[in-house]
Structure 1
Amino acid sequence: MTAENTFQIWHGSRRWDGAPEIQPAKKGRAEWGAGIYGSTHFETCTGYAKGGGKVQLLTIQNTRVLEKSCLPLEVVIDYIKRFVPKPLRATLIGDCEDIAERVRDTVVLNRDPVGPQSEGTTWLPADILRNLIVNFDLSSGVRGVNLARFFAEQGIGVSLDKGGSQAGEKWLVVYDPQLIVSWKGHTYESAKEIGHVLTAPEPHTTESVIYLRPVSQYSSLSMDR
C-alpha cells in the first residue's frame, strides 16, 4: 500500500483506548450517522478533544465514498426491515421507493453502483438511506452502529462532504474503522509540521479493499466522536 492509496485527516476525541472502534453516538450527536468523525482542520478537532482528550492524525485507506455510491433498492429495503422499528418501516420504505423512482434515469450516471449492474435493478443514492435514518432520529445508540456496519459491509467506508465553520473545511465520517491504518496524537505545535489545515482528500475508489490491519470485530466500542 502506497501513499497514493491512503489519505490523512484530523480527529479529536476525549477517549481513545486501543484500536479504533465505533462507539454508539449520543442522541443529537450523529448528524452523519455513527462513526469516527474527522476534519481537514486541526482547530475544529481540538474542540472535541477538550476535557483530557487529544487530537490524532489518522491515516486511512481509500474506499468507496457514501456520497458517490448507490445501492440496490432491495438491499436498502432489507436493511430497513431488519433494523428500523416496525412503526416506521413502511414510511421509510415508501420514501426510498419514491426517491429511487425519481432518479431512476440518472442515478448510475452520477453514482458508482455497489454490485453488478443488471437489467431491472433499481438504485438508490446511498446517502439517502443515511439521511433518512438521521432525520427519523434513528442514528444514535446501537441503531447507529448497525448503520455504520451495514455501510462497511457494502464496501462503503466513509462519508465526505463540506462541514464545520471554517472556509473550505471538509468533514469525514469513517464507517469502517478497519480502514484506519495508523493514528498518532499531536499537540498544537507538532501539528504545525504537518499542517493545521490538510488538503481535502479524494478517497473514492471502487476497488476492493485489502486491509492493512488485521480484521477486528465490532466488539469493543471504545472511541467517542
Structure 2
Amino acid sequence: MLLHNARPTRIVMWYGGRQWDGASEIRPGRKGGTEQGPGIYCTNHYLAARKYAKEEGQVRKLELEPRLLLESAALPLQTVEKFVRENTPKRAHKPLLDGLRKASSESDLSKRNLIGEAPHCPAESILNLCVEAELAHGARGLALATLFIVNGIDASLQRINGDEVWGVIFNPACIKSSTPADPDHVDAEHYQLPDPLLSLEQGS
C-alpha cells in the first residue's frame, strides 16, 4: 500500500523473537529468512508476535518514530544502480539493473518523497528485487539496510492479510521505547494494536 507523502508519527507494534538485552540492533539475516528484507520484524498482532517468539524468545511492545517509510519514498536511480554494482555478484547485475530501470520508467512517483536527483525509482524496488534474487541476507542485507538509513528511510510497513500489518525496522534508532510484555498482563483488547497504515492514511 502506498502512503502518499505520509509523515510517520509514533507507531506502536509488537515484536516477537530472540531475547533482547541492551540496545536493539540489526543482525545479518539467514538465506530464506528475510522475506520482507533486512531488519527487525514486528506486527500489530500480539498473538502473531508471540508465535514468532516461541518458548525461548520474548514479546516486546515497540514505539517507533521513523523519519520516512520505504513505501512513501523514491530513491535516485543512479544511487540504487551504484548499490547493485558494488554489493551484488556480477551475474546479478543485468536483471537487477533492468528491473530498477523498468520500475523507474513505469512508476507514478508524483506523490512520493523524492530523495536526491532525478530520475528516481520506488524505494522498495531495490528491496523487492534483492529479496527475489536471494540477495537480501547476510552482509548484503546489512548494506541494503544502510542504503535506506543514509537516505532517511527507517522502516517499511505492509498489510499482509486482513487487518495484520508487518513492519520491518531498518534503523533501530527510530525505536523510541521497547518494553517487555508480560503475557499475564496483556489484555485481550490490546492483542491487536491500531492499524498503523490506516492511521497514517487518515493523517496524510
TM-score, normalised to structure 2, is: 0.87
User: Where does the alignment leave 5 or more consecutive residues of structure 1 unmatched?
Assistant: 205-225
1:1-225 paired onto structure 2 within 5 Å = 5-103=9-107, 106-107=108-109, 109-115=110-116, 121-163=118-160, 167-192=162-187, 195-202=190-197
Specify the code of the residue in structure 1 equivalent to 2:114: P
- 1:88: Cα distance to partner? 0.9
Whole-Å Cα distance in 1 between the matches of residues 75 and 66 of structure 2? Answer: 19
Whole-Å Cα distance in 2 between the matches of residues 22 and 157 of structure 1? Answer: 12
What is the total number of aligned residue pairs between the two structures? Answer: 192
Contact 1:39 1:45 in 2 (8 A): yes
Whole-Å Cα distance in 2 between the matches of residues 74 and 194 of structure 1? Answer: 47
Contact 1:76 1:129 in 2 (8 A): yes
Whole-Å Cα distance in 2 between the matches of residues 59 and 21 of structure 1? Answer: 15
- 1:87: Cα distance to partner? 1.5
Whole-Å Cα distance in 2 between the matches of residues 172 and 32 of structure 1? Answer: 9
Specify the code of the residue in structure 2 equivalent to 1:89: H
Specify the code of the residue in structure 1 equivalent to 2:67: T
Whole-Å Cα distance in 2 between the matches of residues 110 and 133 of structure 1? Answer: 24
Whole-Å Cα distance in 2 between the matches of residues 51 and 142 of structure 1? Answer: 28
Could you say which residue in structure 2 is the equivalent of 1:211?
none
TM-score, normalised to structure 1, is: 0.80
Superposed CA RMSD? 1.8
Secondary structure of the structure 2 residue equivalent to 1:110 = coil
- 1:189: Cα distance to partner? 2.8
Deviations 1:52-100, CA, capped at 9 Å, x for gaps? 1110001111321111111110111111111111111122112211221
Specify the code of the residue in structure 1 equivalent to 2:111: N
Secondary structure of the structure 2 residue equivalent to 1:34 = coil
- 1:123: Cα distance to partner? 1.0
Secondary structure of the structure 1 residue equivalent to 2:187 = helix
- 1:28: Cα distance to partner? 0.9
Contact 1:158 1:174 in 2 (8 A): yes
Contact 1:69 1:112 in 2 (8 A): yes
- 4+ aligned runs moved over 6 Å, structure 1: none
- 1:149: Cα distance to partner? 1.3
Whole-Å Cα distance in 1 between the matches of residues 95 and 52 of structure 2? Answer: 35
Deviations 1:10-51, CA, capped at 9 Å, x for gaps? 000123121000111111111111100000000000111113
Contact 2:66 2:153 in 1 (8 A): no
Specify the code of the residue in structure 2 equivalent to 1:184: T
- 1:158: Cα distance to partner? 0.6
The structure whose residues are more often helix, as a share, is 2
- 1:194: Cα distance to partner? 7.2
Specify the code of the residue in structure 1 equivalent to 2:113: D
Contact 1:14 1:51 in 2 (8 A): no
